[in-house]
Chains A and B, each alone.
Chain A
Amino acid sequence: MNLRRLVLISVPYLWLVALFLVPFLIVVKISLSTTAIAIPPYTPTLDLAQGWAGFKDFLSQLSFDNFTFLTQDDLYWKAYLSSLKIAALSTLFTLLVAYPIAYGMARVPDEWRPTLLMLIILPFWTSFLIRVYAWMGILSDEGLLNQFLMWLGVISSPLHIMNTSKAVYIGIVYTYLPFMVLPIYAALDKMDESLNEAAVDLGASRLSSFWLVTLPMSRNGVIAGCFLVFIPALGEYVIPQLLGGSQTLMIGKVLWDEFFSNRDWPVASAVAVVLLVILIVPIVLFQRNQQKQQEAES
Chain B
Amino acid sequence: MNKRLSWFNVTSLSLGFAFLYLPMLILIFYSFNESKLVTVWAGFSTKWYVELMHDQPFLDAAWVTLKVAVSSSTLATVLGTMAAITLVRMGRFPGRTLFSGMIYAPLVMPDVITGLSLLLLFIAIGLDRGIFTIMLAHTTFSMCYVSVVVSSRLLTFDRSLEEASMDLGASGFTTFRLVTLPIILPAVISGWLLAFTLSLDDLVIASFTTGPSSTTLPIKIFSAVRLGVSPEINALSTLMITVVAVGVVSASLVSKRAILKQRREEQEGERV
Contact = CB atoms under 8 A, between A and B. Distances in A.
Contacts of B2: 107, 193, 196-197
Interface string B131-147: 00000110110010001
Interface stretch (A3-11, A55-63, A149-157): A3-11
A135 B86 CA distance: 43
B90 A8 contact: yes
Given A119-B20, A137-B27, A144 B39 contact: yes
B164 to A, nearest CB: 19
Interface residues of A, number: 91
A103 B9 contact: yes
Interface string A1-40: 1001100110111011101111110110010000000001
A235 B111 contact: yes
A22 B111 CA distance: 17
Contact of A100 (B16, B98, B99, B139): B16
Interface stretch (A65-73, A74-82, A272-280): A272-280
A293 B249 CA distance: 31
Given A23-B121, A142-B39, A119 B99 contact: no
A134 B82 contact: no
A129 B124 CA distance: 30
A275 B27 contact: no
B103 A16 contact: yes
A247 B143 CA distance: 37
B189 interface: no
A259 B116 contact: yes
A150 B235 CA distance: 28
B116 A272 contact: yes
A134 B13 contact: no
SS class, residues of chain B in contact with chain A = helix
A130 B143 contact: no
B110 interface: yes
Interface string B250-272: 00100010000000000000000
A133 B237 contact: yes
Interface in A104-126: 104-110, 114-116, 118-123, 125-126
Contacts of A122: 244-245, 248-249
A9 B93 contact: yes
A11 B82 contact: yes
A231 B90 contact: no
Nearest to A46: B124
Given A24-B117, A174-B19, A193-B1, A19 B140 contact: yes
Contacts of B240: 126-127, 130
Given A103-B9, A275-B110, A133 B221 contact: yes
B252 A118 contact: yes
Contact of B116 (A116, A147, A268): A268
A54 interface: no
Interface stretch (B45-53, B54-62, B198-206): B198-206
Contact of B229 (A4, A121, A137, A234): A137
Contacts of B26: 134, 137-138, 144
A143 B102 CA distance: 44
A88 interface: no
Interface in A176-233: 177, 188-189, 191, 193, 196-197, 231-232
Interface string B7-18: 011101100110
Contacts of A188: 1
26 contacts: A8-B86, A12-B143, A13-B86, A15-B143, A20-B105, A23-B121, A98-B16, A101-B12, A101-B13, A104-B12, A121-B248, A126-B245, A129-B203, A131-B23, A133-B229, A134-B27, A137-B27, A137-B30, A138-B26, A143-B39, A147-B39, A188-B1, A235-B111, A235-B113, A237-B112, A272-B112
Interface of B: 1-6, 8-10, 12-13, 16-17, 19-21, 23-24, 26-27, 30, 38-39, 79-80, 82-83, 85-86, 90, 93, 95, 98-99, 102-106, 108-113, 116-118, 120-121, 123-124, 136-137, 139-140, 143, 147, 172-173, 197, 200-201, 203-204, 218, 221-222, 225-226, 228-229, 233, 237, 240-241, 244-245, 247-249, 252, 256
Q: Give the 10 A-B CB pairs with smallest separation, nearest first.
A: A235-B110, A100-B12, A23-B117, A101-B16, A134-B23, A104-B9, A23-B121, A12-B83, A104-B13, A16-B102
